[in-house]
Amino acid sequence: MRRALPLAVALLLLLAWSLASRSISPLLLPGPGAVLAALGEHGHRLLEATWTTASSSLLGLALASIFGLGGAALFLRSRWVELALYPYALLLQTLPIVAIAPLLVVWLGYGRPVAVVTAAIVSFFPVLTAGNLGLRATDPAQVELLRLHGATWWQELRILRLPASLPYLFAGYRTAVGLSVIGAIVGEFVGSNGLPPSLGNLVLRSAGSADTALTFAAVGASTLLALLLFGGLRVLEHLSIGRWHGG
């Protein structure tokens, strides 16, 4: 039932889409057949664009991990630092990325760096929050045991707190990995000149030329990319903590 129910819903949605496209202009709503034809015609271009967007989103997620986990460790180390900087981390999360992207183009120029930075910005806060909660959720008795044996703060972080925080971190990454794809595509809307091809630029150009079937194909590719990254994360989660964490 876990697999049959989602599949049944997908088939119903596909049927409804096919029926609706028969009574609506293909410029507004292309049918499934037209989208499949666009996939076949532009398959190589879509694959190359998907690879570009995937690499930008993963690089952005890596940057978010460096600063997010580093910030969480710094907050754990100093309560004063957390009180001073956490409001600004929250402010960064509330800023509309569409408004920031044009400034990034001015600072970084056209190209992949804009997409990487926008992906990092939107995925930073979930990583920071998950790391902050996870590092503080360690069993106090285990912390005291390590300290009684003379463990340094770094040893306490590496041996105990980081492994214990993995369930929280993976929960945060489930959100961050999808946001990184969205952030990369938004950055490509504004900062990509089409070299190399990217999904954001492809969506923008195809929609501007009224090639709605290709637009749907590119949107579908971006959705599939987000699902693949999420699935890969779930596999990594199962391999790393699945045996000892029931959630």
Distance (Å, whole) CA 180 – CA 170 = 15
What pLDDT was estimated at residue 246?
Answer: 62
The amino acid occupying position 102 is: P
**Residue 185's closest CA among 175, 197, 198?**
198
pLDDT digits (tens, 9 = 90+) for 101-159: 888 988 888 889 999 999 999 999 999 999 999 999 888 888 888 888 888 889 999 99
pLDDT digits (tens, 9 = 90+) for 156-203: 999 999 999 999 999 999 999 999 999 999 999 988 887 888 999 999
Task: Taking residues 24-36, report their average pLDDT.
Answer: 86
**Ramachandran class of 192: left when φ > 0, alpha when ψ lies in -120 to 50, beta otherwise:** beta
What pLDDT was estimated at residue 54?
Answer: 96
Higher pLDDT, 193 or 76: 76
All domains in the chain, ordered by first residue:
32-241 (1.10.3720.10)
Task: Taking residues 224-246, report their average pLDDT.
Answer: 89
What pLDDT was estimated at residue 167?
Answer: 93
What pLDDT was estimated at residue 26?
Answer: 81
Count of alpha carbons within 13 angstroms of residue 229, beta-carbon side: 26
Task: Taking residues 2-23, report their average pLDDT.
Answer: 84
**Ramachandran class of 157: left when φ > 0, alpha when ψ lies in -120 to 50, beta otherwise:** alpha
Share of the chain above pLDDT 90, in %: 53
Residue 217's pLDDT band, with cuts at 50, 70 and 90, is very high
What pLDDT was estimated at residue 231?
Answer: 95
What pLDDT was estimated at residue 214?
Answer: 92
Distance (Å, whole) CA 173 – CA 163 = 15
> Which distant-in-sequence residues (6+ apart) come within 8 Å of 166 by Cβ?
134, 240, 241, 245
For the chain, what is the mean pLDDT?
Answer: 90
What pLDDT was estimated at residue 247?
Answer: 58
What pLDDT was estimated at residue 161?
Answer: 92
Q: What secondary structure does DSSP assign to 111-125, as a single string?
A: SHHHHHHHHHHHHHH
**Residue 161's closest CA among 128, 132, 123?**
132
pLDDT digits (tens, 9 = 90+) for 41-54: 888 999 999 999 99
